[in-house]
Chain A
Amino acid sequence: MSAAVDSLASAVRKQEQGLLNCVHCGFCLPACPTYRRLGDEADSPRGRLYLMQAVVEGRLDPGAEAFQTHIGRCLGCRACEPVCPSGVEYGQLLELARQVGGNARRPPVFSRVLLRVFGTAWLARPAMFAGRVARATGLPALLTRIMAGRRPPKGARLAVAMLAASAPPPPLPSRTEDPPATVPRRLDAAKPTVGVLTGCVQAGLFARVNQATVRVLQANGYHVVSVPNQECCGALHAHGGDLEAARSLARRNIVAFEAARVDIVAMNASGCGAAMADYGSLLADDEAMASRARAFAGKVRDISQLLADRGPVPGGTVPLKVTYDAPCHLLHAQGVADPPSRVLDSIPGLEVVPLPGAAECCGGAGIYGLTNPRLGGWIGSDKVQSVLGTGASALVTGNPGCMMQIGAGLALTGAGIPVLHLVELLDESYRRGGLYGNAGG
């Protein structure tokens, strides 16, 4: 038995001893986006756990097509976790299973290259730069417009559309008759020190979101410090089964944030947030780092939680009809359900309409849309249809992957509905409200 299988086996056993074992009740089936569409038990959480169990029991070779295909097809959205009455920690087992699968059979070149790029700063920076340059040419946007309305997005078309979707949204409407609100700046005696994870994709393609994050945190009375030497969070590596790379990135991040002496690690990408909140278990077997990792994980908070804790401070009017899609790694993995709506509800003039199926994965799931184009495209277009059905003029969410996935899908329909990060919207409200010193309009 390989070391990877051993660690999966020991995790399964640990969950068994903690009595978090799967009792095969099947409650997770309808929560799973892949099972809902494919109807095959092997594409359900219960089925995947059964395959993992079979590997542990030595009944199934992890290199087998069945294991590779069905473990590979999991979005990792963890929608199965909240509905599991036995409390199976599926996400954790999935990462171990991916490691087992990856050891048994090398993942495709494409995924390996992509993960390598994200995990290596000197590779990521030029790649993101190239992405921004390409985006700045306007070519992706043009291509996306040309391709609009055709088949569901996948492969290169999806990649181009995703790049286009990462561009800043067009100016948001304002109500001229409304005078800019003047809100006294809220000053708080205790100012917690916050470090923001700038992230790889976020820093590369969504720098504006990072900047907005800093501004809205400051407006809400947080002391924001910069954290040099931070790295990619390692989520994509862990999801892809490259746990060693994920651990190495985690160690470096812990050191970097410790050096900056922060009270809180603020996340504006929920995929990263879920991964970092999990550093404690990722490094549980690393004697030197285990307790530091647990302490670090305890400081991880999503931006929506930090804002909701403070109200948030109200800003100016944004007369817009929006709908909100809950990122899986925020809702399912971190159990953060209310804070984003509380932030939205605080914005004057904003009309929030419910999104049917908001709790379901958009199919972005890290690099899923690129590795499982057909199924990812199917799931993605269901999400897009649901958004269009609400009649909202913008979609709000809280994770760059989701923004690009849904944004690409929406762009390809030609409907002209932008995807905004929660903090972008609040930031705009603050700008209009004059919270940053100069009254906007």
Chain B
Amino acid sequence: MIDAAVDRAGPVLAVLPESQVLVAETARDWAGGRPGEAGWMPSDADAPAVVFPASVEEVAALIRVANETGARLLPAGLGSWLGAGGWTRAGEVIVSCMRLNAVQHYEPADLTLTADAGLGLTEVEDLLLPNGQWLAVDAPGAGAGTLGGMVACGVSGALQGRYGAIRDNVLGVDVVTGAGRVLRIGGRVVKNVAGYDLVRLFTGSRGSLGIITSVSVRLFPRPEADVTLCYVGGAGEIVALARNVCTSPLPIAAVELEGGRESGETVCRVRLLGSGGEVEEVRSRLVDAAGLKPRQILRADESAALHGDRAAWEEGSALVVRLAALPDRLADTFDRGLALAGALGGEVAADALGGVVRVKASPDAARDEDVAGELSRAREVVEAVGGTMTLSQARGEVAARAGWTGRRGSGTALGDRIKKLFDPASILAARCP
């Protein structure tokens, strides 16, 4: 069976020159070796190839051949989020867009950027910085990813309350659908209601409908001031403090929590972004109002650097679970996260404004046979109170064992039909939970 799948992949690999194809050991190293841990692929045979198309035409050609042969493709950027949309199985070909990495259009005064999907987010940052602008998105793992990968995964970080989720910042995409059609949807203007909003459909579709080849995003001027207040204490008092900050009318950019560490301490980081006068005012009111004194106040580059570091929190994890419920249930959700982290030997991070709690399993626990059982139990509890639970990273064996991608809502039938529409032969191996 595995051989048959590998056979089907053959013609796909032949589409591109050899220099754009990796197979066997090197392919496995590329995909699995990125954050440093081997063994994410179930076995060598399951990672036959990675291909690196260098043009939209090459992406379309790969898809066309896959439709002819029945080979399955797994869209990727740098491979850092491979665990987010699914996992490789025997005979599947990873299509990395990292060679599609040109900046197509950047006019700073328009506050928009159009670039190839494979452009790295660190390159994007370098491009925008001299113009005092930024992409106001802090997707987990953003540091190691590409623009296209970020859009395809559509997983937003804690800045979403202030600047909108990823989907609110994507203005247009070019995509080659699973059926091989090249679509250019949306545009590079900030307001556009011409036709149905397919941009939103592809954002967060995790590569299950097509391969995104180009992205237009909305930019923001870099705020004048960047300050982070760090509070440290027991989980109960810190979560209560976070909720107080969240429900205050003050303009807060993000409120993040971290817990489940060996020290038993929980950390809350309140980030303030805006004009100097405003940020100083908010800082002084928070320091006066909150019962707890911040242990540390970081400013400017220090504050920005801290968040840059924290963005890497998920990187390299074999298993990250995302629990979400209404923000006023934060205490419960965070407790649930701590309990799960305890069972999986991992840590917890939360976006308090959004009510999202992420749990990262330890590498050992991720290999644990009983991980699926732990997840099921946690999921039942979260869903019972109207929350949701999804796997935002689940690689290889872990994912195979968990075998589950979260609640299927009542819109699922519509979703299935949409999948069939854009990928009728089901050649795209990625899944959207």
Chain A directly contacts chain B within the complex, with at least one CB pair under 8 Å? no
